[in-house]
């Protein structure tokens, strides 16, 4: 009974603990809402987000609130009065920034700052009201500028507005109250007007208005003429220059003793990596228990694999011994009892016999000895013959 209670407790423990363990593993470790907010945005961007949200509110409420009125004429009349009503503004403001998941904090902040200006705008004649973005973000809150204007006073970006920064960059602060109007070039371009190729890029095309630069081959360093490994000015570390082939990868793993003796070497373009051998190996030429040079202590070679020596083999043998000793003990006890009382003796004898038969049968169907044999059997050997 003590054993049973213990086992029951074990089961309860297992069922109570295991699921929580599994669930903990499955729960994501990163807060998704913080991940979504990872990139902070400037005031002008926040104002744009707010204006977009307000426009969505206008759309949402465009069909009026009194759909399904008693009569068509009544509905029409109510719709008209709702269009520029305080009530519609409140309906819009109730839903403001609600669909905004990434920048909801900044959006609400802008909504608060622009509240009085929104009311001003709302009071204008609807047919004459200026563009909401210009009115709120550029004119009133002064956080944005019109396109191709920058800085505190919305100075026009220098140069030809049709082809700012040669089309390969943007004017710093474009559309915002920030920046100094100089060019911020795209990757691969440099120069005041983004009309030169950056280091490790080469000129693919150029005319009076346009320049196109392209990246050198990844084995190059210090620039190139064209895009292949033959056009490099010099080769990156991990590559050697070949007169016919250009920059070629060096296979570092061909050099002896690149990694320590419990690691194997893996070549990669321009580099190599040392990775620890499988724990069943003592030295290896690749990953996994089938790539060992020798087996580690406690493991032995079975076919291609290094397999852990079974410790419970002894234990299972011990258990079998104990079982047989129990049978002998019981039989001896029956033997002692039998001459004293035939009826009691034969009863006990029958019980002992059925116990032994039951126990052996139980062992057989649970595959106690059989399972051990199966596990020991090397399946891989089957495929070798």
Ligand X SMILES: *[C@@H]1O[C@H](CO)[C@@H](O)[C@H](O)[C@H]1NC(C)=O
What is the Cα–Cα distance from 359 to 367, expressed in whole angstroms?
12
Residue 182 or residue 190: which is nearer to ligand X going by CB?
A: 182
Calculate ∠ Cα 91-92-97, nearest 5°: 125
Using rule CB under 6 A, residue 102 touches ligand X: no
Q: Which residue has the tokens 């069909």?
A: 63
Draw the binding track, 55-74, toward ligand X (x: CB under 6 A; -: no contact): --------------------
Q: List the x/- string, 318-357, binding to ligand X by CB under 6 A.
A: ----------------------------------------
Write the binding mask 146 to 185 for ligand X: x where contact by CB under 6 A, - elsewhere: --------------------------x-------x-x---
Q: Shortest approach of ligand X to residue 173 CB, angstroms? A: 9
Nearer to ligand X, 178 or 302 (CB): 178
Number of residues this chain uses to bind ligand X (CB under 6 A): 3
Q: Which of residues 180-199 bind ligand X (CB under 6 A)?
A: 180, 182
Nearer to ligand X, 89 or 164 (CB): 164
Q: What is the nearest approach in angstroms of ligand X to the Cβ of residue 166?
A: 18
Residues in Cβ contact with 89 at an 8 Å cutoff, skipping those fewer than 6 apart: 118, 119, 122
Task: Output the smallest distance, CB 181 to ligand X, in A.
Answer: 8
116 versus 153: smaller Cβ distance to ligand X: 153
Task: Give the list of residues 6+ apart from residue 172 with CB closer than 8 angstroms, or none.
Answer: 150, 178, 179, 180, 181, 182, 183, 184
Q: How far is CA 101 from CA 37, 96, 296, in A?
A: 8, 12, 54
Scanning the chain, the segments in alpha helix (DSSP H) are: 2-26, 32-36, 43-60, 72-83, 86-94, 104-113, 115-123, 132-133, 312-340, 342-365, 368-376, 379-384
CA distances in angstroms from 62 to 96, 114, 124, 132, listed in the order given: 15, 22, 17, 16
Q: CA–CA separation, 183 vs 150, rounded Å?
A: 12
Q: Which is nearer to ligand X, 191 or 227 (CB)?
A: 191
Could you tell me the smallest distance in angstroms from the CB atom of residue 210 to ligand X? 25
Q: Which residues here bind ligand X, judged by CB under 6 A? A: 172, 180, 182
């Amino acid at each position: 009974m003590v054993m049973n209670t213990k086992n029951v407790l074990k089961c309860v423990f297992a069922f109570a603990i295991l699921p929580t363990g599994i669930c903990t593993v499955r729960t994501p470790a990163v807060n998704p809402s913080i991940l979504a907010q990872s990139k902070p945005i400037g005031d002008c961007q926040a104002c744009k987000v707010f204006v977009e949200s307000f426009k969505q509110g206008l759309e949402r409420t465009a069909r009026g609130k009194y759909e399904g009125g008693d009569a068509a004429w009544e509905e029409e009349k109510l719709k008209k009065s709702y269009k520029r009503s305080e009530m519609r503004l409140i309906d819009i403001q109730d839903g403001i920034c609600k669909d905004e998941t990434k920048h909801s904090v900044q959006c609400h902040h802008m909504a608060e700052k622009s509240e009085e200006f929104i009311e001003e705008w709302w009071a204008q004649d609807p047919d004459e009201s200026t563009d909401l973005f210009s009115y709120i973000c550029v004119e009133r809150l002064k956080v944005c500028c019109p396109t191709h204007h920058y800085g505190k006073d919305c100075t026009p970006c220098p140069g030809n507005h049709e082809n700012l920064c040669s089309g390969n960059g943007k004017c710093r602060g474009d559309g915002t109250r920030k920046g100094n109007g100089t060019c911020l070039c795209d990757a691969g371009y440099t120069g005041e007007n983004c009309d030169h190729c950056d280091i490790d890029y080469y000129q693919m095309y150029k005319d009076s208005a346009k320049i196109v630069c392209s990246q050198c081959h990844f084995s190059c360093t210090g620039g190139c003429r064209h895009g292949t490994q033959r056009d490099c000015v010099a080769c990156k570390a991990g590559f050697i220059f070949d007169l016919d082939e250009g920059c070629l990868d060096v296979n570092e793993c061909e050099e002896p003793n690149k990694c320590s003796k419990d690691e194997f070497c893996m070549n990669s373009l321009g580099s190599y990596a040392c990775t620890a051998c499988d724990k069943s190996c003592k030295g290896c030429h690749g990953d996994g228990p089938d790539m060992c040079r020798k087996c580690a202590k406690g493991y032995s070679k079975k076919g291609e694999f290094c397999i852990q020596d079974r410790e419970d083999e002894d234990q299972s043998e011990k258990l079998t011994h104990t079982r047989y000793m129990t049978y002998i003990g019981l039989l001896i006890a029956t033997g002692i009892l039998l001459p004293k009382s035939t009826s009691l003796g034969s009863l006990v004898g029958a019980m002992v016999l059925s116990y032994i038969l039951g126990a052996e049968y139980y062992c057989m169907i649970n595959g106690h000895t059989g399972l051990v044999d199966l596990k020991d059997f090397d399946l891989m050997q089957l495929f070798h013959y």
